[in-house]
């Protein structure tokens, strides 16, 4: 037995020595460069691309198996002007061979130096990364098909242990060329370093790269991976930095790496300046805002859970300047997205983020033509959308109007988007209603029902128009519809009807009582130092219709203790032209308005014309004179007595017509 053990030891030791000697001696007598042509031919045959490698190919087998080569070039397929698809300045790998027998991978060094990848899309849509089609000869005969993978058995790594000392990619680049679009994007200066790679401990990662010259870095830890790679979750703790602004941290888990991989991470985007970021990206035009003090601060925190089938953003908080948005969103079935969202905004002044007034003005009044250069909107994504969303806001300023307690619910299904209900408060009143957007066809259609109650008109008009035009408390019911997505088309197709009822207010800058005493003076304005003219009222009731952008009213009435005013006419919203007639009547005494006499039935018509921006008020003095003449001459006791005499009665109408003709 002792002799047997002795001989086994001698034979085993001899084999070990023989293996070591072989590993040392073979590379000394075998020139691997002699096999370079064979290697190049085999790779070219397998890929259908040209392949070349430099003459500096090195092989050693002990104490580490080392393979190194340089100047590798894998060419493009025919039809592409660029020569190389992939190139590599040098490659080196050092690993131990014997542990491979026991599914133990031990790599000391794995380095790719200056890899270059060029992705190309030609004008005809062909791409250089597509595998060339084999020839008919190769399809019919030649190499046999590789055996298919046996079904059954879960995915897993074919190794028991893994240990890599250094893994590095140095000075790599990726270029994307789109000849059809005439664009080119470059990812350059790519340096990737991984340290302490194993299943049992976290891998230290550092990536630095430039995208179109803009620096991006990713640093942190990934892992440990664990022994059950297919089912174990892999911890992530990474920091992403971009330009001088972005500092994003990701901390969480990479779940199910080989079976429906997903993420469950907490995201924290540190405070940065969107204005500065956009400027660094060359997008200065995107930060031209009415208020240059906005877009100075932004940060985000959220929990993100995602895989290939769904995305959920939970407990998210976005701060932008003085505004804070808290939200949660779930998205599933990305090709036909099912979206569920709940958002709450504390406050925002939208006007501050809009372009300055000079950049938002439209063409001159009277336009209405659709811009032929405007690209048509694609509503197909909205047709696919399945949405249920809630949105609330504490305070919103838009077009200078102050809105509070905004709440709306939005749904979308099969191209029908509904806002039902929506509501908010403003200027001590409330606005509520519902709306529908129909995008089933190429031109969208809209309709809305709106109710307004107890709204203070004066503060609203002063905020929006910076003018005192009307005061009072308003109620309204509106039913509107239109189509299109450009202002000229919307104006042309605006239809509907409504009723507006301001109460207990005043019309500013128009003195209807003064018109009774001196119609011309009523429209000359107010001399310096004197009180502005106004007409108080107890109620205004206005019924109107809208047809193809023309507002029409035949029954707008102003009621006050001493006046009745009827307004008829129309306003063309497309041409922005006014055409109204105002017919006020005095009722009883107007004491307290500068008049002590009793008056009744005095009619002073006023024509309102001109444009929206420059309205013109013209009292109809001829009509007033004709009425005064009729009342004071023909309706007087003496005139009636004269026409009652025999023979003169038939001439009464002709006499009235003659006098009226003299005034025309």
Query: Which H helix or E strand runs over 253?
Result: strand 246-255
Q: What is the model's pLDDT at position 123?
A: 83
Q: Are 120 and 127 in contact (CB under 8 A)?
A: yes
pLDDT, averaged per 10 consecutive residues of the chain (664 residues), comes to 46 42 46 69 82 77 71 84 85 70 68 88 82 54 46 50 77 88 88 83 89 90 74 86 91 84 93 90 80 93 93 96 96 92 96 76 47 71 94 94 95 94 94 94 93 92 82 93 90 94 83 56 49 78 93 89 84 91 69 47 75 81 59 52 51 50 50
Q: Which residues contact 380 (CB under 8 A, 6 or more apart)?
A: none
Scanning 152-236, the segments in alpha helix (DSSP H) are: none
**DSSP 8-state class, residue 649:** G
Q: Are 240 and 216 in contact (CB under 8 A)?
A: yes
286 phi, psi to nearest 5 deg: -80, -10
What's the gap between Cα 212 and its chain centre?
24
Q: Are strands 310-320 and 298-307 parallel, antiparallel or unpaired?
A: antiparallel
Q: Is the pTM of this model over 0.75?
A: no
Task: Count CB atoms within 10 A of the CB of residue 151.
Answer: 5
189 phi, psi to nearest 5 deg: 50, 40
Token pair 């075998």: residue: 30
Q: What is the model's pLDDT at position 208?
A: 93
Helix (H, G, I), strand (E, B) or coil at 386: strand
Kindly state the tokens that stand for 131. 């595998």
d(CA 490, CA 435): 16
Whether cis (ω within 30° of 0) applies to the bond prior to 224 is yes
d(CA 118, CA 129): 9
Q: Which residues contact 246 (CB under 8 A, 6 or more apart)?
A: 240, 269, 272, 277
Where are the extended beta strands (E) located within 145-182? 161-178
Task: Count CB atoms within 10 A of the CB of residue 178.
Answer: 15
Q: What is the model's pLDDT at position 445?
A: 95
Q: Which residues contact 99 (CB under 8 A, 6 or more apart)?
A: 105, 106
**DSSP 8-state class, residue 267:** E
Where are the extended beta strands (E) located within 428-516? 429-438, 445-456, 470-483, 495-508
CA atoms within 13 A on the CB side of 453: 7
20 phi, psi to nearest 5 deg: -65, -45
Q: Are 430 and 453 in contact (CB under 8 A)?
A: yes
d(CA 269, CA 297): 12
Residue 404, CA distances (Å) to 129, 219, 244, 397 in order: 56, 44, 37, 9
How far is the first Cα of the chain from the last one, in angstroms, to the nearest whole number? Answer: 145
Q: Are 246 and 267 in contact (CB under 8 A)?
A: no
d(CA 432, CA 442): 29
Scanning 466-573, the segments in alpha helix (DSSP H) are: 487-492, 512-517
d(CA 526, CA 533): 7
């Amino acid at each position: 037995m002792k002799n047997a053990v002795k001989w086994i030891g001698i034979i085993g030791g001899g084999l070990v020595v023989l293996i070591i000697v072989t590993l040392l001696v073979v590379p000394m007598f075998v020139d691997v460069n002699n096999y370079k042509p064979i290697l190049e031919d085999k790779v070219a045959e397998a890929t259908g691309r040209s392949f070349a490698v430099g003459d500096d190919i090195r092989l050693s087998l002990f104490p580490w198996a080392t393979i190194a080569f340089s100047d590798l070039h894998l060419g493009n397929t025919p039809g592409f002007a660029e020569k190389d698809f992939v190139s590599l300045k040098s490659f080196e790998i050092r690993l131990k061979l014997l542990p491979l027998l026991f599914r133990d991978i031990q790599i000391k060094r794995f380095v790719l130096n200056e890899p270059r990848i060029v992705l190309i899309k030609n004008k005809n849509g062909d791409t250089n990364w597509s595998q060339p089609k084999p020839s008919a000869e190769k399809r019919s005969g030649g190499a046999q098909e590789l055996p298919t993978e046996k079904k059954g058995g879960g995915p897993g790594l074919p190794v028991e242990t893994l240990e890599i000392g250094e893994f590095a990619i140095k000075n790599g680049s990726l270029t994307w060329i789109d000849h059809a679009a005439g664009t080119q994007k470059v990812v350059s200066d790519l340096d990737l370093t991984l340290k302490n790679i194993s299943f049992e401990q976290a891998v230290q990662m550092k990536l630095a790269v430039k995208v179109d010259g803009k620096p991006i870095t990713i640093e942190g830890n990934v892992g440990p991976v664990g022994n059950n790679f297919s089912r174990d979750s892999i911890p992530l703790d990474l920091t992403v930095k971009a330009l001088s602004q972005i500092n994003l941290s990701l901390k969480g888990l990479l779940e199910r790496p080989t079976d429906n991989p997903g993420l469950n991470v907490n995201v924290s985007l540190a405070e940065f300046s969107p204005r500065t970021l956009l400027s660094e990206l060359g997008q200065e035009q995107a930060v031209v805002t009415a208020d240059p003090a906005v877009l100075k601060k932004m940060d985000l925190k959220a929990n993100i859970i995602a895989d290939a089938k769904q995305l959920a953003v939970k407990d998210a908080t976005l701060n932008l300047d003085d505004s804070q948005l808290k939200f949660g969103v779930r998205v599933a079935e990305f090709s036909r997205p099912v979206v569920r969202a709940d958002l709450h905004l504390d406050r925002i002044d939208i006007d501050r983020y809009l372009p300055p007034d000079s950049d938002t003005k439209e063409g001159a009044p009277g336009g209405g033509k659709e811009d032929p250069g405007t690209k048509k909107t694609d509503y197909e994504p909205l047709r696919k959308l399945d949405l249920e969303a809630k949105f609330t806001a504490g305070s919103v300023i838009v077009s200078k109007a102050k809105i509070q307690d905004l709440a709306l619910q939005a749904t979308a299904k099969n191209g029908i988007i509904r806002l039902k209900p929506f509501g908010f408060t403003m200027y001590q009143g409330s606005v509520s209603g519902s709306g529908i957007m129909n995008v089933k066809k190429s031109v969208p259609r809209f309709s809305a029902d709106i109710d307004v109650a107890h709204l203070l008109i004066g503060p609203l008009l002063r905020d929006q128009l910076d003018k005192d035009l009307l005061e009072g408390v308003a109620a309204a019911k509106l039913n509107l519809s239109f189509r299109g997505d450009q202002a000229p088309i919307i104006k042309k197709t605006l239809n509907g009807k409504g009723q507006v009822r301001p109460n207990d207010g005043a019309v500013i800058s128009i003195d209807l009582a003064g018109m009774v005493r001196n119609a011309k003076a009523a429209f000359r304005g107010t001399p310096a130092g004197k009180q502005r003219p106004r007409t108080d009222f107890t109620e205004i009731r206005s019924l109107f219709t809208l047809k193809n952008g023309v507002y029409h009213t035949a029954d707008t009435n102003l009621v006050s203790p001493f006046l009745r005013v009827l307004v008829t006419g129309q306003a063309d919203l497309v041409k922005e032209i006014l055409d109204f007639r105002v017919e006020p009547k005095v009722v009883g005494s107007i004491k307290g308005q500068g008049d002590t006499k009793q008056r009744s039935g005095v009619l002073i018509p006023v024509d309102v014309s001109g444009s929206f921006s420059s309205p013109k008020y013209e009292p109809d003095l001829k009509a007033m004179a004709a009425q005064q003449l009729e009342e004071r001459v023909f309706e007087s006791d003496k005139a009636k007595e004269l026409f009652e005499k025999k023979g003169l009665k038939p001439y009464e109408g002709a006499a009235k017509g003659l006098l009226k003709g003299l005034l025309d």
